[in-house]
Structure 1
């Protein structure tokens, strides 16, 4: 009997392996990073450190969920950081009427900002990057005009509790972020709106010819992104106990896009991976935390993040091609 020769993986096997890596790579990377971080630092798994990581990742995750919806339509929202700054400047103005009303007004402001951006994209047909870039610049200026040149301390116990309290050992901010993730997943997978969103991102022209409400869906997506960004802004103010629009929300749009792309949502639209976005936000947060805890210079941390982003974008393009 002739022994069976070892055969190298064929094209189909390599394609399958590539698909598995693209679909589940972020989860495997997150698990490996978690194990390595725990092995290098015995205090990494301590309750205090876990709470710190959850506090830091919650606002980014909330913004990234809105960004994932926008990217799913083959768009991008660069104004989320400025919306955070605007929410940070608006909340202190209405804290005298109670924290719930102040946060609600901030959410309304976020919805209005999103509606403006969505209208520019859907009705005026301005490219998303241009429309939201103009909003990013303008809203940041408005926020600083409202708040003034210096940071304002916040002493309202209700808002401070939103940013510092916990339930069952988990920060309230993390519970809110988790609830937003669940609702976003249900919206994408279980509603007609979610299916329309994905279809529009896959082929906008075909969706329009098929009679889908393309303009309405696009405006709604940007409104949701603005509301989530404003919610993150209110949480940041509560956690930091101050309103500082000049610094709060800076680079948040980049962090959100990174979490979405690393999580497997392609920049070409047509797909929204909510769980992947959650994993992507956690992965990037842990990367930063591990490197910082081991006294790695910020420059090297940024280089590592840049390499991860490039790899994720490449994988996303390969996924779209296949």
Structure 2
């Protein structure tokens, strides 16, 4: 090989390494830029109440994004997460405001958390079974519950807003420990637990193998169907928990509004965090970073007088940029 060829190869390698470093750290750079802008421009950004609100808002996105990351890592997608949030959020008040719960408040509170999440898990089984056993495309399979799940929630509540006063349940969304929001601790615990699941368990390795090459995974003896169902079940369960948090924050449940467009936020957070849309990669902490970026972009625009509709366009732009960066990494 000539000296010129050596130089060309070295130059190309340098460009690839430099681009790789930029794309790998792009999320952190974007977050720092957004934070710096808000500190300098946005009024009261560092006020404790503002920080509390942002953490409360990002918690639900982050929790759902972690579940979405697992589903996307299998090569799938889940459009039903918002509907599952609405369904879980509709069931909880029906339980702890019932006569049984009033007579047995502690048991009623426990059931108001356990039953909605159990129902959410069943929704995940439905989604996973549709994808795995009936070979329905993930976007179609989850679209079924995207439509029917919210409809079931509206039927259960007769389309009415459910308001309540239950300090014990509301703590899930408004509580603080050492001044830090309780749901923030939940995000940390969930992220660490799912990261450990993916890094140190057979299920985690199998899930990445399925997303990387499903046919090869199947030939190597990996229970592909079971792994896929597991990913959808975890995603649905986390969505149910997020729905309970939203209800607890507002001390009200509105089946028509809870979880609206959450599927877009969760997908955007996962993709911005480095999750490959073709599967095979599940950066859990990247999904948390992506959720923070998505929330801060929305907050920054609204706090500076930009319409919410523009925030939706900005999210779309973020997804496009993230997908472009993913494609650039392959080159």
TM-score (norm 2): 0.92
Counterpart position of 1:26? 27
Counterpart position of 2:90? 89
For each residue in 1:214-256, what CA deviation from the matched residue of structure 2 results, as whole angstroms up to 9, or x when unmatched? 1111111111011000000111111011111111111111110
Q: Where in structure 2 are the equivalents of 1:70-149 lying within 5 Å?
A: 70-95=71-96, 96=101, 97-149=107-159
- The Cα shift of 1:42 comes to 5.2
- The Cα shift of 1:98 comes to 2.5
Q: Decide which of 248, 256, 261 is 1:246's aligned counterpart.
A: 256
For each residue in 1:78-124, what CA deviation from the matched residue of structure 2 results, as whole angstroms up to 9, or x when unmatched? 11111001101111121124222211101100100000100111111
Task: Give distance in 2, aligned partners of 1:302 and 1:139.
Answer: 23
1:225 has 2:226 as partner = no
Task: Give distance in 2, aligned partners of 1:222 and 1:301.
Answer: 28
Task: Give distance in 2, aligned partners of 1:213 and 1:61.
Answer: 28
Gaps in structure 1 of 5+ consecutive residues: 1-6
Say whether the 8 Å CA contact 2:42–2:304 is kept in structure 1: no
Secondary structure in 2 aligned to 1:98? Answer: helix
TM-score (norm 1): 0.95
Task: Give distance in 2, aligned partners of 1:180 and 1:310.
Answer: 28
Task: Give distance in 2, aligned partners of 1:314 and 1:153.
Answer: 44
In structure 2, relative to structure 1, the CA distance for the partners of 1:123 and 1:301 (3 Å cut) is: same
Gaps in structure 2 of 5+ consecutive residues: 1-6, 102-106
- The Cα shift of 1:158 comes to 1.2
For each residue in 1:229-285, what CA deviation from the matched residue of structure 2 results, as whole angstroms up to 9, or x when unmatched? 000011111101111111111111111000000111110100001111111000111
Count of residue pairs brought into register by the alignment: 315
Counterpart position of 2:189? 179
In the TM superposition, structure 1's runs of 4+ consecutive aligned residues that sit over 3 Å from their partners are: none
Q: Decide which of 147, 150, 158 is 2:168's aligned counterpart.
A: 158
Secondary structure in 2 aligned to 1:220? Answer: helix
Counterpart position of 1:65? 66
CA RMSD of the aligned region, Å?
Answer: 1.4
Secondary structure in 2 aligned to 1:10? Answer: helix
